[in-house]
Amino acid sequence: MSSDAEFNGADGLEDAARLVGVPDEYQRLWTPHRMAYISGGPDAHDDNCPFCNAPSMDDEKALIVHRGEHAYVVLNLFPYNTGHVLVCPYRHIAMYDDVTLDEAVEIATLTQQAMRVLRHVSGTEGFNIGMNQGKVAGAGVAGHLHQHVVPRWSTDSNFLPIIARTKAMPRLLGEVRDSLAEAWQQFS
């Protein structure tokens, strides 16, 4: 094995190009699909809202699980856990206090249905439910209100998210969408 001095440049920083493929103690979970989200930057959705575009697309392509009259349910493209869905009003509004009574009722109803479907399909033991409103509150798409429904299991947490800030997703998005959409009919 070479000494550390061989890999250090004149300024003391490692020459990363020479380290590519050199084995070390870390395992890597490659997620190149996330570059679409990262490279867009913090204002990527200001002029091109994914929650306004999704309803005009095919359900499978848009990952839409269910369409209601005032709101719809879509899989999160960057989920915290398998089955992480978003409940979105069709109208492009930013804040919860801007929804109409009909929209509020349907968002609540679809959230409850999503919980029932997720329990049925994947044995969900609990949920994190919430809305981040505004960029300062952590909303990735601040201009279009959306409620997160994140399924939780007693075994869904391990060292990866804590130490490596990485989540392992055991099922593909299309597969999850299909199973949730099929089961949704039983809970409507």
- Amino acid 26: pLDDT: 60
- Amino acid 99: pLDDT: 97
- Amino acid 25: pLDDT: 63
- Amino acid 2: pLDDT: 46
The DSSP secondary-structure symbol of 15 reads -
Residues of the chain with pLDDT under 50: 1-9, 11-13
Q: What CATH number is associated with residue 163? A: 3.30.428.10
Enumerate the active-site residues. 146
The range of the structural domain enclosing residue 153 comes to 42-187
- Amino acid 5: pLDDT: 47
Q: How far apart are CA 65 and CA 62, in angstroms?
A: 9
**Does some domain include residue 166?**
yes
**Does some domain include residue 26?**
no
**Does some domain include residue 129?**
yes
Q: How many distinct structural domains can be found in the chain? A: 1
Q: Estimate to the nearest angstrom the gap between the alpha carbon of 127 and the chain centroid.
A: 14
Q: How far apart are CA 50 and CA 62, in angstroms?
A: 9
**Does some domain include residue 158?**
yes
Sign of CA dihedral 3, 6, 10, 11: negative
**Does some domain include residue 12?**
no
- C-alpha distance from residue 10 to each of 4, 6, 15, 151, 173 (Å): 12, 10, 10, 49, 46
Helix (H) or strand (E) holding 143: none
151 closest CA partner among 128, 183, 175, 133: 128
- Amino acid 164: pLDDT: 57
Q: How far apart are CA 30 and CA 181, in angstroms?
A: 28
Q: How far apart are CA 62 and CA 52, in angstroms?
A: 11
**Does some domain include residue 33?**
no
**Does some domain include residue 29?**
no
**Does some domain include residue 95?**
yes
Mean pLDDT for all residues in the chain:
81
